[in-house]
Chains A and B, each alone.
Chain A
Amino acid sequence: MAQPRVLVVGGGLAGLSAAMRLAELGSDVDLMSLVPVKRSHSVCAQGGINSVNALTRQQGDNEWKHLDDTIYGGDFLQHQPPVKEMADWGPRIIDLMDRLGVPFNRTPEGFRDQRRFGGTLYKRTAFAGATTGQQLLYALDEQVRRFEAQGKIRKFEFWDFLSPVLDDSGRCRGAVCQDMVSMQFRTFPADAVIIASGGCGLVYGRSTMSMVCTGSAVSRVYQAGAAYGNGEFIQVHPTAIPGADKLRLMSESARGEGGRVWVPRRPQDARDPRSIPEAERYYFLEERYPKYMNLVPRDIATREIFDVCTTEGLSVEKDRLCVYLDLTHLPREELDRKLHGILEIYEKFQGVDPRDVPMKIFPAVHYSMGGLWVDYQKSASGGLEEGSPRNQQTSVPGLYAIGECDYQYHGANRLGANSLLSCIFSGLFCAPGVIASAGSGKKTAADESQRLFTTALRREEERHEALLTRPGGGENPYQIHLELGELMTRVATVVRRNDQLAPAYEEACQLEERWRRCSLSDTGNWTNQNVVFTKSLGDMFPLAKLILKGALLRDECRGAHFKPDFEMPDIKATDPAAQLAEAELWCDRFEENTRRWLKSTIARHGTDGHPQISYEDIDTSLIPPRPRLYGLVGGETVEEVWKKRARKSAQDKGQEKGVTAGSERS
């Protein structure tokens, strides 16, 4: 067989690791990105990357526990075999990145240093200063450049992926793309196409994500028929610095080192925060959570900050929601010693010294757990079968998805430092399968494929022409984006209510209608960023709609999806017997909820432009679901009852072994 040719769309951690692995395995690779790959969004990751390591192992850690933490953190909403495989690969991936020259922080003896991140008891996180993502990305970028110098990889930077080309059997045969400098269209015949285009934060207007995180590539393959999973699961980070252009991440360590969160008791008190007396400050986290104080878990901090600003109207500023994160009571030297890096970020972008003035922060959209639905082939040991063409394949044969834009690894909520791992893992792991798939696809006759590509090319050219020739004086795309972002941020982030989501869906449809009428301020055909943006804006609507619809339909609380109307109640009884009875009821309700809702949301693009939602069972064959009881009043009693039930069901299971959900997948 001739060498397979693979098109990789996206040069973040996922796309680069796939490209270099494919090249190593002998495939020719076309690597495409909206920006030079070295400038991909992955550079933003600061914290680190998780894996079991020699040190944690000796403290009782193992891959299984990493799997368990990830599953538990994700509220059981992910298929377990891929996560198991990822956790198993973790140590190897860190070793590989180490060999590639990533300057991980070191212990005095020269080993890799590790830190502890949320959601685990072990110091699993390897890090390189405060720029782990950047360092990992550069190491991969360098290897890709090495292959590029050998002619094994061709880069297409400043190119926009427009649509996959499917043959009559529905198999992906390549893509149509556009050079964003010359605005020329071009077809890329390929034996397989991999989408590694990252998250879709721009659907929310401003987020902690980069400007190319529009989700456009994902939306385009979704519109071409690929299924999308768990769209409504969007992670919101509690503390970000609100900026006019972007919401920049403020690390949790600010609270860890003693930062206090507060708002003035008088709404929008205009006084200098330093002159507001203690009695007139509302330290709401400390008052509401006397045990955890400011160090409540991420999702709770997020919800409370959101709540105090929206429901109680106590935001520090009127036009812009924010609360104070105050470090000014701490000694300067201590701050400089412990928090220098992150305080510098605040200072750099706000022009204010947080050692003197309380910081203003607010939660921000941070990560999309959902993404393109992808398949996998389960192995006998409960992990994945390496080299299977099914791994990471979307519902369209020959079309793959990896990295943040797949839905596979993080369930309802992502653990810190797990995403970098999943990106590199999915990229490296999928390569042999992609090559196998590329070899297996029946070749189409030359004239047949000629027809396919010409049609696809013409379709994109027409779409482009139509945009350019819209009559002037119509809607302004930037204004529509602003409104979409505000809408999504208002209804589909921290707190979700059906009475808001239902009208919001209608509003999104109206915005989409308006988008159809928008006109361009640049109708030229050279480096026209206006038309590229307008196109990607149009492609945000299908995603926005599937997020809203998925959130509307999911009547429960799970991970990042919080609906107060469907919250599991606290145990209110005080009498032990009554408590036990209530706990039994609680567990019944939990089990019922699990039966009803422990399912991936699967969206398919309907011909009417609306998402068709269905649900997919989840492979929980490795770790049975259990309730997350963090902060629940009476949680101990519930745990007791739950454990009893779990033991019993384990005994039952022992008798009828063998059925695995994974094997039922198409």
Chain B
Amino acid sequence: MSTKHNGPATASTPPSTGAAGGEPAPHDSGDHLALPRTIDVRVLRQDAPGQESYWERHAVAWEPNMNVISVLQKIAAGARAQDGRQVAPVAWDCNCLEEVCGSCTMLINGRTRMACSALVDRLVEEHPDGIELRPMLKFPVVRDLVVDRRRLFRSLERVKAWVPVDGFYDHGAGPRISPEEQEDAYPLSTCMSCGCCLEACPQFTRIETVRRDGETEEAFEQRRTAAFDRGFIGAHAISQAVLFNGHPIGKLIADERMEAVTDQGGIQMCGNAQNCVAVCPKSIPLTRSIARAGRAATMWAIRKIFDR
């Protein structure tokens, strides 16, 4: 709640050409030598939830094939701000570094994306005055670039994103599935719960619950979950509901999923801005999912009225 969204403390200055003077001037031509020798990185930091956020500048030595993760690794290794002050390393999330685990979502130059696939040379090409990193806005900041995305997993639970199998004993193969059905389902199944779609969605707003004095862990968790459940479930969970409602066995609990999808904070919250599909790093056809869920919700609501 306390994140300040003011610009960098220092107005954007041209990137420094590094300690070694006499380097070729940056950006005078498109070739490699002309890239800046150090990159000006501005990070919006926050020490803990509820604390003030602040901008910090780092000068990172340029190397070929860098991505934002390697920039952060260098910042961590150096642990010094641009002015030479010793600072704690910037905290951030990552794991696979191949854009499949969904850990490293952050705002890079104002836009939500995966840090591991954000190439420095491209970023500098687009924004010659450096790279700006900040945490996602729609999730509570834990520290620096680390945010708490539990709500996203809670949404998966809300829509019962699973196949309700009897158990794990051997019962032979699953149902036959045509290649067309597979090709339809597969893209939805590559969703890595990164949260980009939620971050960019104008209808998805931050929910931050703060533990009260004397509140037990359980009571707090319950209250937090209840708060999540009042909020928008978002494109990612809607798409998972569509995925499982399309599965021959998954659809056995389609009604329960529709119940969730049309409950408070359900699909009706979507305003069709279609940012979600534009920013999804896995190019998942989210608007198709949303429209399909919309259709199913329509039918379901009508049915419900008559079945009452």
Contacts and interface: CB of A to CB of B under 8 A. Distances in A.
Interface of A: 20-21, 24, 35-36, 38-41, 43-44, 92, 94-96, 98-101, 103-112, 128-129, 131, 134-135, 138-139, 142-143, 145-146, 148-149, 181, 210-212, 242-246, 248, 345, 348-351, 428, 476, 478-479, 482, 521-524, 526-527, 529-530
A106 B182 contact: yes
B168 A106 contact: no
B250 A101 contact: yes
Nearest to A97: B174
Closest 4 CB pairs of A and B: A521-B79, A478-B77, A98-B174, A142-B162
A579 B99 CA distance: 54
B172 interface: yes
B98 A101 contact: no
A244 B97 contact: no
A96 B244 CA distance: 17
A35 B89 contact: no
Given A39-B102, A243-B70, 15 more contacts: A35-B101, A99-B171, A100-B174, A103-B182, A107-B179, A129-B190, A138-B189, A142-B162, A145-B161, A145-B162, A146-B164, A243-B67, A245-B70, A526-B47, A527-B143
Interface in B130-183: 142-144, 146, 149, 153, 156-157, 160-165, 167-168, 170-174, 176-179, 181-182
A248 B170 contact: no
A99 B175 CA distance: 7
B288 to A, nearest CB: 16
A29 to B, nearest CB: 14
Given A129-B186, A244-B70, A348 B174 contact: no
Contact of A96 (B86, B146, B157, B168): B168
B283 to A, nearest CB: 11
B69 interface: yes
B94 interface: yes
- Give the one of B64, B119, B122, B160 with max A CB within 10 A: B64
16 contacts: A35-B103, A38-B193, A41-B96, A99-B165, A100-B174, A103-B189, A105-B182, A111-B176, A143-B165, A145-B156, A145-B157, A145-B161, A146-B160, A212-B95, A479-B77, A523-B88
Contacts of A43: 96, 100-101, 192
Given A99-B163, A105-B182, A349-B119, A44 B98 contact: yes
Contacts of A243: 65, 67, 70, 97
A245 B73 contact: yes
A314 to B, nearest CB: 20
A15 to B, nearest CB: 15
Contact of A530 (B66, B70, B76, B177): B76
Contacts of B47: 524, 526
- Give the one of A21, A95, A348, A428 with max B CB within 10 A: A348
A146 B179 contact: no
B48 interface: yes
B291 interface: no
B275 interface: no
B256 to A, nearest CB: 11
Nearest to A104: B182
A245 B97 contact: yes
Contacts of A148: 157
A312 B171 CA distance: 57
A96 B100 contact: no
B117 interface: yes
Contacts of B99: 348
B159 to A, nearest CB: 11
Interface string B96-139: 11111111000000000000110101100000000000000000
Contacts of A106: 177-179, 181-182
Nearest to B193: A38
A145 B160 CA distance: 9
Contacts of A245: 67, 69-70, 73, 97, 116
A473 to B, nearest CB: 10
B185 interface: yes
A413 to B, nearest CB: 24
A521 B86 contact: yes
B91 interface: yes
- Give the one of B121, B189, B193 with max A CB within 10 A: B189
A589 B258 CA distance: 69
Contacts of A527: 48, 91, 142-144, 146
A478 B171 CA distance: 50
Contact of B95 (A107, A109, A110, A210): A210
A73 B157 CA distance: 42
B179 A211 contact: no
Contacts of A212: 95
B101 A246 contact: no
B273 to A, nearest CB: 26
Contacts of A349: 65, 67, 98, 117, 119
Given A24-B168, A101-B174, A101-B249, A210 B186 contact: no
A348 B281 CA distance: 11
B173 A146 contact: no
Given A131-B100, A142-B162, A248-B97, A99 B174 contact: yes
A146 B76 CA distance: 38
A529 B89 contact: yes
B57 interface: no
B63 interface: yes
B95 A41 contact: yes
B174 A211 contact: no
- Give the one of B99, B149, B171, B186 with max A CB within 10 A: B186
